[in-house]
Amino acid sequence: MKKTILTLIALTLVLAFAAISQTPPAHQHQVVLQMNVDGMDSWNQLFANIQNIQAVFGADKIQIEVVAYGKGLSLLLKTNSAFEERMKKAIAGGVVLAACQNTMRLRKVTTDDLFPFASQVDSGVAELIRKQEAGWSYIKAGE
């Protein structure tokens, strides 16, 4: 009987800890940034945003993923040399820059058209949902 009780208590403790562990630890931050517009102003603000939140939280304490879709896909095109250095710096700081494959198909953009440091996701908008479901903060970047 006591064994049964102890087993039940152990199980209960595991369940309680599981419930608690679903909330993110206080020292870690995660944010997904929506980028579905083009234009210098929006992209300048995006990289200022990234720099600011890395400064506030610490670059090693916050995971940042930028999801580029719709008109925002142009950010990651090799032709966008004006932002290449800022993107490389972001990548070096651990930021993920992800291109939406649905937009790529729609706009006939191939992997070769993108900077080699760009990641890819099946669907930009689905990625925004998945990250929020995983507890990430979400921000619509740009104007």
Of the two residues 12 and 78, which places its CB atom closer to its own copies in the complex? 12
Tell me which residue of 109, 116, 80 sits closest to 124, measured CA to CA: 109
> Would you say 65 and 29 are in contact if contact means Cβ atoms under 8 Å apart?
no
- Provide the minimum distance between the beta carbon of 52 and its own copies in the complex, in angstroms, as a whole number: 4
Nearest by Cα to 76 from 53, 99, 92: 99
SS3 122: coil
Residue 20: CB atoms within 10 Å? 8
What is the distance between the alpha carbons of residues 142 and 88, in angstroms, rounded to a whole number?
Answer: 19
State the residues that interact with its own copies by CB under 8 A: 1-2, 5-6, 8-9, 11-13, 15-20, 22-24, 29, 31, 34, 36-37, 41, 45, 48-49, 52-53, 55-57, 62, 70-71, 102, 106, 122-126, 128-129, 132-133, 137-140, 143
Residue in the structure block whose two tokens are 């104007």: 143
The closest of 137, 93, 134 to 117, measured between CA atoms, is 93
With respect to its own copies, which residue has the nearer C-beta, 62 or 114?
A: 62
Mention every residue, 6+ apart, whose C-beta is less than 8 A from residue 60.
Answer: 94
